[in-house]
Amino acid sequence: QVQLVESGGGSVEAGGSLRLSCVASGHIISINSMGWYRQVPGKQRELVATITGRQETNYAEAVQCRFTISLDDAANTVYLQMNALKPDDTAVYYCNADINDITRRPPRVEGWGQGTLVTVSS
């Protein structure tokens, strides 16, 4: 299994910035991808951004040019730099990881973090 611990959420005014971090732990031999998703009450969880172990990135249209995802694979940590935040970015942000676990057959394992709340006020 993979354990994910998120940090960096909080409250900020519109136009401000926050940086989310997510550390993955377990018997990780390699990372296939990690990413960030968000959810507001009454709505489905939606993609924010993902990054592969090859550093290939994908962003939701709503966050293009404002958010930047990065991966430190040596530290099993994914970051989400969020700039020019808007009230519509208010949500619980969840970290996701797709990794290979040396103790499992097949080795591929996916996990989710507990979520961190981001609140953007107007």
pLDDT, tens only, 72-95: 999 999 999 999 999 999 999 999
On whether the CB atoms of residues 87 and 36 are closer than 8 A, the answer is no
What's the confidence (pLDDT) of residue 100?
Answer: 96
Averaged confidence pLDDT in the chain: 97
Give the integer Cα–Cα distance in Å for 80 and 7.
Answer: 10
Q: In percent, how much of the chain has pLDDT > 70?
A: 100
Hey, which bits of 10-90 come out as E strands? 10-13, 18-26, 28-39, 46-52, 57-59, 67-72, 77-82
- What proportion of the chain, given as a percentage, has pLDDT over 90? 99
Going by C-alpha positions, the residue among 32, 30, 18 that lies closest to residue 93 is: 18
**What does the pLDDT look like over 31-43, one tens digit per residue?**
999 999 999 999 9
Classify 65 in phi/psi space as left (phi over 0), alpha (psi -120 to 50) or beta: left
Whether residue 1 is predicted with pLDDT greater than 90 in this model: the reply is no
Rounded CA separation 7/31 (Å): 20
Average pLDDT over residues 12-27: 97
